[in-house]
Amino acid sequence: MSMVMTKGQRAASRRRREKTANVLCLLLLILLGCIVLFPIYWIFRSSLMSNGELYAYPPAFLPPEWRFSNYAETLKSFEYLRFLGNTMTILVPAVFGAVVTATMGGYAFARLRFRGKKFLFTLCVGSMLLPSMVTLIPLFIAWSKLGMVNTYFPLILPHFCGGGAFNIFLIRQFVKTVPRELDEAATIDGCGYFRILLFIIVPAIKSAMIVVGLLKFIELWNDLLQQVTYITRRDRYTLALGLNIFRGSFNDDWSSIMCATCLSFIPGIVFYLIGQRYFVEGIVMTGMKN
């Protein structure tokens, strides 16, 4: 009886320690989350204050008065809808092209047999070590000779080549987790490579494709360097360019700058929240075998 009670006490003690550890981990995660989100809150809080309140000391944690009218005033000078439309004109085809071609490239490296596959894959992965600044000037000269400066083609067409080596690598790792027996069964039924990719591989790696789309979306949304290199006409400005110019024009009007900043990152947050479950699942499951 004493031994049974001892085992029960040990089990209860272990459960208490696990519960305490879980609570401490949860509190730590909440603290870290608050630290990460604090800058976003501070921008939002600043957008609802007047310039005089922003310069007050000590700074107020909450706005003395919630001035949502600041957004209406900012939209009079910040062409948000035009900039957003231009940004989506680049993002939609570029993300689509990156997802499709990365899926095809990852499938080829994972399943197909052809001469030089290992060398090409090594070359593809090795290209991740090449800084984008190295290729910026040669690419600009090439696009200039083609007469495509001040168009969106230099910002869209390169992403139809796999969308980057990391995306191809990510898709390849996911395709390798799909049992080859499914391919063999489909081949016996008369399916070719394309039908196997479309009807077997794609449904199995849907989460990885969403991860590629989200990563490419975030990359292009924040890509100020490429956009400022190829676009100089104001009517073609994206949100990143428009915000940069707006910030330079309103150096002292921090309230309007914060409003424009909030308007600029809201679409990105919405898209991420929609696909966050697939994003986390895709990152966690990368390379894991069934």
- Cα separation, 274 vs 6, whole angstroms: 50
Q: Are 49 and 254 in contact, with CB atoms under 8 Å apart?
A: no
Cβ distance 170 to 284 under 8 Å?
A: no
User: Residue 96 has what pLDDT?
Assistant: 93
Q: Which domains does the chain have, with CATH numbers?
A: 2-69 (no CATH), 73-285 (1.10.3720.10)
CB 109 within 8 A of CB 121: yes
**pLDDT tens digits for the chain (290 residues)?**
444 457 667 777 778 888 888 899 999 999 998 998 898 888 888 888 888 877 777 878 888 888 888 888 888 888 888 999 999 999 999 999 999 999 999 999 888 888 888 888 888 888 888 777 888 888 889 999 888 888 899 999 989 988 888 889 888 888 888 888 888 888 888 888 888 888 888 888 888 888 888 889 888 888 888 888 898 888 888 888 888 888 766 567 788 888 888 888 888 788 777 777 766 665 555 545 44
d(CA 171, CA 194): 16
Task: Check residue 127 and give its pLDDT.
Answer: 81
Question: According to the model, what pLDDT value does residue 1 have?
Answer: 42
For residue 126, what pLDDT is reported? 83
**What are the tokens at 25?**
């981990």
